[in-house]
């Protein structure tokens, strides 16, 4: 599995704390930045990761900003993206079981490294449950298609 990971300045510390977990899980990743604490705009990094997932260039993404809210707003604008803001093990597990989330959003200023590592482990090992949840995802896809048709005029 290939993963694209990105963050703004508020997410750099947490990103550096979870990269070793990706290596431990033998997950190939590209780090699209940012890589230092100089203030940047989260949409620039959110777009890189979300586009890669949206177009199928990578299977999954991870995005980190201060609250996780800005990155969530950006990521869920992209077709085929199901981005989930996770802050504990329950939300991480549910985002995979019920939502088949393909982008994990972490709040860099809210959770610590230990919690983030636990979330990442759970998120990658938990499969999608399917069944009634697939029906709900199909409805989301139908909304997406309808909105895209409106855009085309």
Residue ranges binding ligand RB5 (CB under 6 A): 8, 10, 42, 65-67, 69-70
7 catalytic per annotation: no
Which of these is catalytic: 9, 65, 86, 150?
A: 65
Beta strands in 47-148 (DSSP E): 60-65, 83-85, 103-107
Q: What is the chain's Cα-based Rg?
A: 15
Q: Report in angstroms how near the CB of residue 70 gets to ligand RB5 at its nearest.
A: 3
Residue 126: phi, psi to the nearest 5? -90, 125
Distances (CA, A) of 80 to 36, 41, 46, 55, 133: 30, 23, 15, 8, 16
Distance in angstroms (rounded) separating the CA atoms of residues 69 and 75 = 10
Q: Report in angstroms how near the CB of residue 79 gets to ligand RB5 at its nearest.
A: 22
98 catalytic per annotation: yes
Which structure tokens are listed for 94? 């549910």
Q: Which is nearer to ligand RB5, 81 or 124 (CB)?
A: 81
Q: Which is nearer to ligand RB5, 10 or 32 (CB)?
A: 10
Which structure tokens are listed for 132? 């009634």
Q: Which is nearer to ligand RB5, 23 or 112 (CB)?
A: 112
Q: Report in angstroms how near the CB of residue 135 gets to ligand RB5 at its nearest.
A: 32
Q: Which is nearer to ligand RB5, 43 or 98 (CB)?
A: 43
Q: Report in angstroms how near the CB of residue 110 gets to ligand RB5 at its nearest.
A: 9
Q: Give the catalytic positions in this structure.
A: 65, 98
């Amino acid at each position: 599995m290939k993963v694209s990971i990105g963050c703004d300045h508020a997410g750099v510390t947490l990103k550096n704390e979870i990269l070793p977990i990706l290596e431990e899980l033998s997950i190939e990743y590209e780090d699209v930045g940012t890589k230092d604490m100089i203030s940047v705009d989260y949409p620039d990094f959110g777009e890189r990761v979300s586009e890669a997932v949206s177009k199928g260039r990578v299977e999954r993404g991870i995005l980190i900003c201060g609250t996780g809210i800005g990155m969530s707003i950006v990521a869920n604008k992209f077709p085929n993206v199901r981005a989930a803001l996770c802050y504990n093990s329950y939300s991480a597990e549910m985002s995979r079981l019920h939502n088949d989330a393909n982008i994990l959003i972490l709040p860099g200023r809210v959770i610590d490294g230990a919690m983030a590592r636990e979330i990442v482990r759970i998120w990658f090992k938990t499969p999608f449950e399917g069944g009634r949840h697939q029906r709900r995802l199909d409805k989301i896809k139908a909304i997406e298609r309808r909105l895209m048709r409106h855009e085309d005029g």
